[in-house]
Structure formats: C-alpha cells, structure tokens
Amino acid sequence: MKAQDKPIGKTAEAVKGSKEDIKPQGRVVLEGEERLKYFSQICIRGANQIRKYLNTGESGYRYLSGKAHQNVRDYYLYAILDEIEKAGLALMNCADFILGGEGDPVAKTEGNERITRNIYSTSIDQLSLWSRKLTEILVEAISFKTISNDELYFRHYLLVTELKRKKKLYQDFWTYHACKSGNIEFQISELEDDINTLRPSLDPAKVWYARHRRDGTIGTSLTSFEDRLKNILPRLSPDQKLAIGDSYQPFSTISSNLHPSFGDVDYDINMHSVDTHYMHIGILAANILVVVKSILAKKPRGFVGQLSRIFKENKYPRDLYRRKSSPSIKIGDFVIAYSELAEVVVVRTSKFGQKSFRVRFLEKSPLPNMPEDEFPAQYVQLYKKRSPLTRQVREMIKKDAPDLKVNNREVVKAVRVSILHMWSEVGFKEFAFGQREQGIKKMGDYLSKNKAMRKAKAK
C-alpha cells in the first residue's frame, strides 16, 4: 500500500460517562490506552445498546432462516451488529500491540528492516479485513436509510442475496463435481418464486442493491460495491465521506491488503500506520451505529447518543472535506503537486462535486517530457494565489508610473518568474516543506552571494 493511498481519517472526540442510560456529558480528548479502549468500546458497547431495540434475539437469529422472520429488517440489523461487535474484539486484540510501542531500537540491517516492515504489515492486513467489511456495511446501511427504509426492500435484499449464494453453490457442484443437485434446484426455484411475488410491490428506483434489466425492471443480480458507492456518494455527509472515501480507490487499497501483494510496498510503514487503521475501524463503526439508530427511528441515550451528538456538533469534518475535495484554487494559482512547484492551467469538477487540476510544472516535472499533468484535489496544495500578487505589482507600477499602460500578460509573466526564483534560489522550497534550517542556510547563502556580486560590481 503506497503512502499516498493510506486511508484518511480523523479520531472522533471521546465523551464522558460510563452508564448506558445517563445523559451525554461534555466531550474530552482521550490518549494512549484510554483512546484505544474507547474505539473498541464504540463497537462493543454501541452494538449492545442498539440490540435492545431489535425484535429478534440470539435464538431467533441462529436457528431461524432470514426469510422466515416476520421482521427481516431487524434480522439484517442484528447481523450488522454482529460484525461491529467482532470488529471491536479484533481491536481489543490489536490494542496491546500498539501500546507496546515500537520497542527498543535495533541495528539498521536489511534483515531487521524486512522483519519490522512485515510485523507492521501483518497487523494492518488483519485490521484491513474489518475496515473493508465495515465500509461495505456503512454504504449498505446508508442506502437503506436514505433510499429504501421499508420492510419490503429488506426482505427483497435478503432473498436476492440468498439466491446468488444458492446459484453459486449449484454452479460449484456442477463445475467441480459434475453434480446437478435437485435439492438446490428446488431452493433456487422457491427463492425465485418469492422474489417474483414481491417484485410488483417494489419501486425500481429504490432497489439499489440489484441490477436492473434493459427494460428497467428489477433483475436478480446484485450490484457491485462500486455501483452502490456511486449511487450513494452524493447523499453522504462529510463525516461519512471521510470514513468511506470519496472514490473507489480507498476501498480498493484496503481490499488489496487481503490479497497477495507484489511490488506495491509501503515504504514508510510504522506503528502510526497501524494506529490509523485501528482508529478507522472505530470511526466506521460509530457511523454505522448512528445510521442504524436512524433506520430504527430511535433516539437512544447513553453511548450511541453521545456518538450522534459528536457527529452533529463537530464542524471540523465539513471544513476538512471541503478543503480536501474542493479547495479554493483557481486557474493561474501557484501550487505544489507531487512535491513540485506548478501553475494551475485547468480546473475540473466531477459529477460528484470533487475537483481536479491540470498543472504546468515550473521548475521541473516529476517525469521527463511531461511538462503538464492532472491531479485530484487531494494531491494538490495551494502555494500562492496569483491574483493578490499581480494586483500588488500593478498597484506598484501605477504608483511609480501613473501614465504607463500596464500589460497584464507581462505582469503575470514577471510574477511567475519571481515565484520560481524565490522557490529554487532563495530557500522558499525548503520552507514550504518544513525544512527551516535548510531554508535559512539557502537564503543566507543567496544574500551573501548577492552582496559579494554587488561589491565586485562597485569596484
């Protein structure tokens, strides 16, 4: 997993209070062991609280098939809470590893660095399983809440999902064992009858989980995760977009950790990487619990009520997501893209409201013979806005030469040359990347060189 592909997430602020039925207290920020415990308890305590509102229990869930339940919605939500609870147990297992820290320094040999990298990778691979599961669940839960929060659609979803499972089993029997199971054929036929009975009562526009046929009618093939993400993305809140991702790539990156990986090595993996994945799972679980609460039309107090308040009151995710996906960068502004100084030449906005920028590199390009390239907004950082700079130059010219006609194109060119000069020669590049000491040294060398040149010229 590349460094730039790491999931983006911010820790939720913790809250006081230990009893489930107390009024939510003021928020506090937890650190260390308390923070890790809080994130695992989001999963375990939160799931336990929501279960109290469901019309099904452990026996009904384990020993009664889903389609036999009168309340399929609660059966589905019970299964979701199981996944959240299991994720919480996985976090508890990982917490001791994180608390142990990075250990005593060891000699930097290739063997030690390989073992260290694989130790961290093992934890990240294990956590990625739960990140992927909960990401899929959150997208589904939001889709039910906003599009089809009705018992009929939960039942139809369950039937279509079960039909897919039976068809794959039937195909497996035939492909690998040359066996045509009459029993499975009968189950498939029963499921298809149940689906056909429900279909006239369903609105195709609300069936986001099944593909539609060419004539617009509801089919029996399930949609992919990417289809579901595209469908629900415009309805997601900033909190949800930061947790899920605002494109398919974050999910794909998490999924890649569950498969053999060749050549896609994270060169900067460390304990912080593990901790980020840990918190991501807690944030996903918190979002799911709040959505499930809305599906049930309940307003629980205590732990889940606290989570709901945090999402409602915290304005930081909205500001963060706006800066990430749609920064106030315009054509002509100077930016840093892939660590290089560049000028924006084209701005585009996708149908999902996310910006991308085509830039022209000013000092050098990351690849030879590629003076321009395009980047999603999150890979572009504003360096200097052009408009204030050109305005200042024009004002200075007008002040010194009021009758002189200002050539705007020449002003822009002069600003561009000046920006590049300060960046490459005076140390501004080093300052931009937080290398203060190197920047001061470069600036000092530049000033000394200029002073010496002036003295030589005076002689």
Contact predicate 390/411, CB 8 Å: yes
* Cα(241)–Cα(8) distance, integer angstroms: 10
Q: What's the pLDDT score for residue 397?
A: 83
Chain centroid to Cα 406, Å, comes to: 47
**pLDDT score of 305:** 87
- Evaluate whether residue 255 is within a structural domain: yes
Distances in Å between the Cα of 458 and the Cα atoms of 56, 447, 450, 454, 455 are 92, 16, 12, 6, 5
Strand partners, 382: 335
Residue 294's pLDDT is: 93
Is 110 part of any domain? yes
Among the listed ranges 7-11, 72-76, 330-334, 413-417, which one has the minimum average pLDDT value? 7-11
CA distance 141 to 79: 12
Pairwise pLDDT comparison (400 vs 332), residue with the higher score: 332
Which of 189-203, 229-243, 311-325 shows the lowest mean pLDDT across its residues?
Answer: 311-325
Given a cut of 80, is residue 175 above it in pLDDT? yes
Q: Determine the pLDDT at residue 457.
A: 79
Percent of the chain with pLDDT over 90: 68
Any idea which of 85-99, 134-148, 263-277 has the lowest mean pLDDT?
Answer: 263-277
Assess whether pLDDT exceeds 90 at residue 453: no
Quote the pTM value. 0.85
pLDDT at 207 over 70: yes
Q: Residue 341: its pLDDT value, please?
A: 97
Q: How confident is the model at residue 345 (pLDDT cuts 50, 70, 90)?
A: very high
**Residue-range definition of the domain harbouring residue 80:** 3-147+208-320
Position 30 scores a pLDDT of 64
**Average pLDDT of the chain, as a whole number:** 88
- pLDDT over threshold 90, residue 29: no
Higher pLDDT, 406 or 214: 214
Residue 366 inside a domain? The answer is no
Report the relative pairing of strands 380-384 and 355-361 from DSSP bridges: unpaired
Number of folded domains that form the chain: 1
- Please report which confidence band the pLDDT of residue 406 belongs to, taking 50, 70 and 90 as the band edges: confident
Looking from the CA of 294 toward its CB, the CA atoms found within 13 Å total 17
Is the residue at 439 inside a domain? Answer: no
pLDDT (0 to 100) of residue 62? 85
Of the ranges 14-18, 136-140, 184-188, which one carries the lowest mean pLDDT score? 14-18
pLDDT at 52 over 60: yes
Residue carrying the six token digits 């930097």: 108
pLDDT number for residue 66: 77
Cα gap 348→153, rounded to integer Å = 37
- The answer to the question of residue 420 being in a domain is no
Q: Give 266's pLDDT tier (boundaries 50, 70, 90).
A: confident
Amino acid at residue number 124: I
Instruction: Look at 155-164, 167-176, 228-237, 265-274 and tell me which has the smallest mean pLDDT.
Output: 265-274
pLDDT digits (tens, 9 = 90+) for 367-394: 999 999 999 999 999 999 999 999 998 8
Average pLDDT over residues 335-363: 95
In the predicted model, is pLDDT for residue 19 greater than 50? no
**Residue 41 banded pLDDT, cuts 50, 70, 90:** very high
User: Is 22 a residue whose pLDDT tops 70?
Assistant: no
222 inside domain? yes
Cα of 240 vs its chain's centroid, Å:
8
pLDDT value at 4 more than 60 = no
Residue 75 included in any domain: yes
The confidence score (pLDDT) of residue 24 equals 34
Taking CA atoms, 110 is separated from 106, 260, 270, in Å, by: 11, 22, 16
Among 171, 156, 134, 106, smallest CA distance to 39 is for: 134
Is 76 within a domain?
yes
Contact 141, 287 (CB under 8 A): no
Q: What is the mean pLDDT of residues 193-212?
A: 96
Residue 209 or residue 396, greater confidence: 209
If pLDDT is split at 50, 70 and 90, which confidence band does 240 have?
very high
Find where tokens 């200042």 sit: 392
Residue 300 has a pLDDT of 67
Lowest mean pLDDT among 76-90, 254-268, 328-342, 421-435: 254-268
Which sign does the torsion angle of CA 374, 376, 379, 380 carry?
positive
d(C-alpha 284, C-alpha 134), whole Å? 6
Confidence at 25, pLDDT banded by 50, 70, 90: very low
Q: State the SS3 of the chain.
A: CCHHHCCCCCCCCEECCCCCCCCCCCEECCCHHHHHHHHHHHHHHHHHHHHCCCCCCHHHHHHCCHHHCCCHHHHHHHHHHHHHHHHHHHHHHHHHHHHCCCCCCCCCCHHHHHHHHHHHHHHHHHHHHHHHHHHHHHHHHHHHHHCCCCHHHHHHHHHHHHHHHHHHHHHHHHHHHCCCCHHHHHHHHHHHHHHHHHHHHCCHHHCCCEEECCCCCEEEEECCHHHHHHHHHHHCCHHHHHHHCCCCHHHHHHHHCCCCCCCCCCCCCCHHHHHHHHHHHHHHHHHHHHHHHHHCCCCCCHHHHHHHHHHHHCCHHHHHHHHHHCCCCCCCCEEEECCEEEEEEEEEECCCCCEEEEEEECCCCCCCCCCEEEEEHHHEEEEECHHHHHHHHHHHHHHHCCCCCCCHHHHHHHHHHHHHHHHHHCCHHHHHCCCHHHHHHHHHHHHHHHHHHHHHHHC
User: Which segment, 57-71, 301-315, 327-341, is predicted with the most confidence on average?
Assistant: 327-341
- Which residue from 43, 452, 253, 95 is spatially nearest to 51, judged by alpha carbons? 43
Count of alpha carbons within 13 angstroms of residue 362, beta-carbon side? 26
User: Residue 359 half-sphere exposure, CB side, CA atoms within 13 Å?
Assistant: 31
Stretch 219-225: mean pLDDT, rounded?
Answer: 96
